[in-house]
Every structure is written in C-alpha cells, then in structure tokens.
C-alpha cells in the first residue's frame, strides 16, 4: 500500500506503508544509530515523536521480548529506507513490521532517509504526518500538522503505582527512582550494583521519598519540554533542598536545572543516536555516549554559585553535565545506561554509589 510523509513545510515523501495504516501526526526527529531500533521505539522519551532512522536497513535482526526498554513502544511513527521482511538472529522472536502493527505504530519505507535527515539538520525538527489517505484539502492538512505539539507526555509514559525491583545479591542501598519515562536498563544498572530500586510515578510527592529511608534518589529520562512540568519541578526542588544524594539523567537533569534557577531551550534538531562525543572536563577525556534529547540547559543561565558545568558536547559545546555545589548531587544530559549505545559512561553509576556511601558517613 502506498503511503506519504507530509512535512509541515509542504514537502511530501512517497513510499510504502509499514506497520499500522492509521494516520499519525508527530514531531519528526532523526536517529543516527545503526542498531537498537527496538530499544529506540520503546524509549519513552520518544512519546509524541516520529523517528527517521538514518541508517538504511532496519529490522534485519527482528525483535524479541528482552530488548524492550519499557512496557510498550512510545513512538508515533517510524520512517525507514528499507524494512527487512524478516529477522535473522538467534534471539529473534518476530519481525519488525508485525511488531509495529501490534502496537499501532504507523510507518513508511522507501523514503530517502539520508536526504530527509539532511533536511531536518538544515531546517530543524518539524512536524509531519504519515498517512495512507489521499489528501483532498491540502491547506487543512498542513494546518493540522503545524498545530501539533508534544505535550502531556510525562503523564502518558510514567507508571501509575510504586514498583520495587530487588538488588542482585544482597541489597547494600535503597534507591528511589522517579519515573518520568525511565528505561529498564537504568534500573538494571542500579540492581547489579547492589541497589534495591523503588520506582515512583512522576507526580509522587517529594515527602514520600524523604520519609522513605532511601540512600539516594535518581531522576530519570523522559519526553517533552522540561519547562511544561511545573508541578514536578516544585517537587524536584524539595529533593534538592534535602541532603539525599541525587543523580539525574536527561529530562531529570533538565528539570533539576530549572528547579535551581537555570533555563532550558529547544535545540534546532537535537541529539539522537549512539555516537555522540562528550568531554568530561574533570577527567580531561572524551567518551562516546548514547543520547536522545531535543532540549538542553542553556549554558549562560547556569549560576556558578549553584553548579559548575562538568561535561560538554565535543561537537558544539552544549551542556552535557552539571556538578552541583550542594554535596552529592550531579546530573548528565546523555544516557549512561545506553540501550542502545556504548557503555563508556556507566562509571557514573559507580560515582552515585560512592556518593551514597559518603552520605551514610
């Protein structure tokens, strides 16, 4: 079946329908990863977005239950050059097209995704529609696309009740993890370091964590504009004002910055992929990181009396990490838990463990 990708600037890319045939409007972003499409689709940070995979062959190793990073995929749409009709891998449990249909994700193949990626890099992230329907009212179609906004996504992706994940072996620490769109591997990274992890819904009051006897708190990744989450930011500030060790990632990093007086801004096309170089300024070395974000902490808004910039993006110098003057508190923009991507920065989980040990002392 024929399908069309219609951009808010009026450009149209023709292709073949994959996945669901339902019409979807989304914020269109691109990801440069060569593998990990299942982890990408199930990353809650993609809620409200359509994903353009710049690598041309997608679906070649199929899908399986173990690679899901959350309870379901959250992306609205998937745009690929070529979708492999079957997966070839000893872990394969099904094909990607069936997976997309199962979760009502609309998609299109046969698109020149590298040309589309260049367009998004030059003109910036834009809204789009994936549809199999013929458009009879072009102006109304474009107006509908242009009026779309990613909002209310944290409420959509967060769990609704507390959930406890036991440590691997003897539990040495109890960690409260705020679920703004957490990926499962973040929980696993804590479990294998001897942490019992209690995951809280996004709007859980800070006092519940402060009264819970936890050794530390993590603020997770998640979707959307961080500034939209005013009620959550108020609770994050209460956690910051306590003496609990804090480690925050991506959206959590941005919301803690907002809670302490800094500002965030939307990037032209964001960072999404598994090959983004980040420099740790204290260590004096660069690491290759997994990233997925369209907003960033504005460098000029960081008060040096509150925090210092600890990591920067090697490509364009944007803020990738903050070390707070308040004891035992640091945050990063990238994903140290990877999935998919390199595990170069898992050492940050070890730093969090050391901070919890110090907090006890």
What's the distance, Cα to Cα, between the start and end of the chain in Å? 64
Q: Quote the CA–CA distance of 332 and 330 in Å, as a whole number.
A: 7
Q: Quote the CA–CA distance of 182 and 248 in Å, as a whole number.
A: 11
Among 253, 271, 311, 335, the active-site one is: 335
Active site residue 250: yes
Cα distances from 263 to residues 111, 237, 266, 300, in angstroms, run 37, 14, 11, 9
Tokens found for residue 275: 């090959």
Among 235, 250, 276, 311, the active-site one is: 250
Q: Which residue has the tokens 């745009």?
A: 79
User: Strand locations in the chain, DSSP E?
Assistant: 2-7, 12-19, 24-31, 49-53, 57-58, 77-80, 82-83, 106-109, 126-131, 163-165, 173-179, 195-201, 216-219, 246-249, 264-280, 285-297, 307-313, 319-324, 329-332
Q: Which residues are catalytic?
A: 250, 335, 337
């Amino acid at each position: 079946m024929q399908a069309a990708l219609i951009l808010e600037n009026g450009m149209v890319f023709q292709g073949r329908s994959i996945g669901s045939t339902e019409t979807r409007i989304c914020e269109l972003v691109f990801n440069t990863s060569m593998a990990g499409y299942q982890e990408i689709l199930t990353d809650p940070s993609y809620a409200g977005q359509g994903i353009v995979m710049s690598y041309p062959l997608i679906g070649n190793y199929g899908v399986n239950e173990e690679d899901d990073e959350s309870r379901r995929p959250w992306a609205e749409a998937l745009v690929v050059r070529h979708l492999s009709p079957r997966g070839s891998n000893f872990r394969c449990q099904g094909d990607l097209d069936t997976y997309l249909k199962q979760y009502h994700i609309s998609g299109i193949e046969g698109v020149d995704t590298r040309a589309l990626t260049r367009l998004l890099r030059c003109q910036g992230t834009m809204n789009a529609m994936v549809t199999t329907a013929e458009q009879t009212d072009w102006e109304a179609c474009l107006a509908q696309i242009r009026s779309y906004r990613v909002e209310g996504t944290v409420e959509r992706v967060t769990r609704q009740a507390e959930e406890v994940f036991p440590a691997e072996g003897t539990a040495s620490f109890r960690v409260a993890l705020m679920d703004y769109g957490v990926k499962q591997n973040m929980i696993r990274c804590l479990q294998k370091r001897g942490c019992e992890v209690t995951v809280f819904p996004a709007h859980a009051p800070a006092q519940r964590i402060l009264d819970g006897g936890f050794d530390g708190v993590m603020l997770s990744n998640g979707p959307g504009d961080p500034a939209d989450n005013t009620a959550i930011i108020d609770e994050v500030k209460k956690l910051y004002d306590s003496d609990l060790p804090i480690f925050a990632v991506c959206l959590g990093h941005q919301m803690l910055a907002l809670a302490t007086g800094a500002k965030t801004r939307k990037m032209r096309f964001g960072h999404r992929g598994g090959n983004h170089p980040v420099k740790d300024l204290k260590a004096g070395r660069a690491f290759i990181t997994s990233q997925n974000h369209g907003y960033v902490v504005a460098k000029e808004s960081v008060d040096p009396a509150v925090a210092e910039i600890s990591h920067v993006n090697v490509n364009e110098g944007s803020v990738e990490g903050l070390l707070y003057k308040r004891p035992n508190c640091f945050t990063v923009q990238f994903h140290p838990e990877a999935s998919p991507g390199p595990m170069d920065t898992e050492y940050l989980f070890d730093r969090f463990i050391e901070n919890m040990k110090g907090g006890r002392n």
